[in-house]
């Protein structure tokens, strides 16, 4: 009989989500349609995603929030009711 104790804390949904996202990154990278040495290559997908997609988005979002804080501190929203969405 096979020992499956190592699967005791396995979260199937989380693992499937990781696999799905990795496939998404692979497809978006263009490697699926690439030439020899690129097709089937999953190495550095996360780094490429961070530099080309997530990084620029996070950088822009950071500065958008700083600009909001500066406007808030300058009193540009005095008398206005501001709703800030809470994300989990």
Residue 7 in domain: no
50 located within any domain: yes
Range of the domain at 49: 12-73
Tally the domains of the chain: 1
Tokens linked to 9: 């804390």
Q: Indicate whether 32 belongs to any domain.
A: yes
Q: What's the start-to-end Cα distance of the chain, in Å?
A: 42
pLDDT for 85:
78
> Could you tell me the pTM of the whole model?
0.59
Assigned domain for 30 exists:
yes
| Residue 21 belongs to a domain | yes
Distance, in Å, from the CA atom of 17 to the CA atom of 35, rounded to the nearest integer, reads 28
Confidence of residue 88 (pLDDT cuts 50, 70, 90): low
The string of DSSP letters for 51-75 reads: IIIIHHHHHHHHHHHHHHHHHHHTT
């Amino acid at each position: 009989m096979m020992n499956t104790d190592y699967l005791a804390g396995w979260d199937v949904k989380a693992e499937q989500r990781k696999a799905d996202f990795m496939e998404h990154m692979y497809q978006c990278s263009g490697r699926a349609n690439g030439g020899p040495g690129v097709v089937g290559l999953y190495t550095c997908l996360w780094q490429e995603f961070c530099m080309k997609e997530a990084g620029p988005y996070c950088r822009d979002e950071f500065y958008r929030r700083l600009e909001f804080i500066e406007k808030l501190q300058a009193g540009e929203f005095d008398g206005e009711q501001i709703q800030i969405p809470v994300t989990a």
